[in-house]
Each structure stands twice: as structure tokens, then as C-alpha cells.
Amino acid sequence: MPLFTRPASVAIPETWTPEGTVVSQRYRALEGATVLVYTAHPDQGAPRYVAACLGCTHRADRNAAGNVMTEPEAAKAANTHAAACRAVARGVPARPDDIEAAKLIRTRLWARRYGNKPHPVRLSDFNGLRVDLQRPTDWIKAVLSDIAQADPGFLAATPADSGQGMRFTVQPFARP
């Protein structure tokens, strides 16, 4: 054994930041779990924040009125959850492989098929999944493009009005 070797670094919840996010606040739950307040797109318009517990499955990306949350709203949601959550610290969630992460995205999109009209897809729709996905924005965009190519009846892709990038729209179920 070499004299000055270091053990492999192990991510700890108290300092861990999910890939593709910016963590602004952390709270400690009653039994030690960490509750994060984060955003995925701080440089694009008004940031949309999420509160996510690393000890249980709690994820909050909308306020009581159903709107996306500001940082103070997400902080209040995180603090409220931390004050009641009895989950123990479980460590950092395992990073899913690419196939499992793509399934998470497809499942989120599938839930948007119910209704009578197409549903526009925004990257912020995946903010609540960022802790589970652990992927950057470009990876999510690539998966959306792959799904649109493979199944255009499910997810339609059109060029963005700006000429840069693509717009994605979930198509509703065909009604007889």
C-alpha cells in the first residue's frame, strides 16, 4: 500500500449538489436527513426552486396555489418538511444508469398526455426530478430529442422561434 494514498471521495449529503443544479440552502430534518433547496436554471429568467429531502421521497416543486416556487417559498417548504420529517440520513442517492434516468423522463412526460390538447414541455418540468436524475440540462435535451425521433406521436419536436434549439410538445392520447 502506498504511503500517501487517499481513499476514494465519498459524497456526503451535507455538501452534495446534484449534477445540473445549484443548491442554495440545506436543512437538517429531525433524524438527520438533509433537505435541499435548489434550482436548475439560475441564469434563465426567474429561477424556479425545488425542495427535496434526501432521507425520504419528499419533492416539492410547486406552492399551494400550484405555481412554481420562488426561493423563499421553497425554503419555507423545506423548513416545514425538515421540522416534521423523521427520516434518517441515507446518504446521497445512487445515480441511475442512463436507461433508468431516461425512463424517469419518459414517465414524467407520459403523465402530461391526459387532456385534450398538446402540452408544451419546459426544462423546468424536470426540476423536481433533478435529485433523482443527476444529469445536466444538455443530457435531458438529448433524451427529449431521442424520444421525439423514436415516437413523434408521443413527443413532437419543432424548431424554436429563435432558430436555436428545439421545442417539445407532448401529444395527447388519440381520442376516437
DSSP 71-120: HHHHHHHHHHHHHH--PBP--SPPPPPHHHHHHHHHHHHHGGG-SSS-EE
In this structure, of 43-52, 62-71, 96-105, 107-116, the range with the lowest mean pLDDT score is: 43-52
User: Does the structure show a pLDDT above 80 at 162?
Assistant: no
User: What is the pLDDT at residue 125?
Assistant: 87
Domains of the chain and any CATH numbers = 22-84 (no CATH), 98-170 (1.10.10)
Element (H, E) at 142: helix 137-150
User: What is the pLDDT at residue 132?
Assistant: 92
User: Does the structure show a pLDDT above 80 at 19?
Assistant: yes
User: Does the structure show a pLDDT above 60 at 8?
Assistant: no
User: Does the structure show a pLDDT above 70 at 56?
Assistant: yes
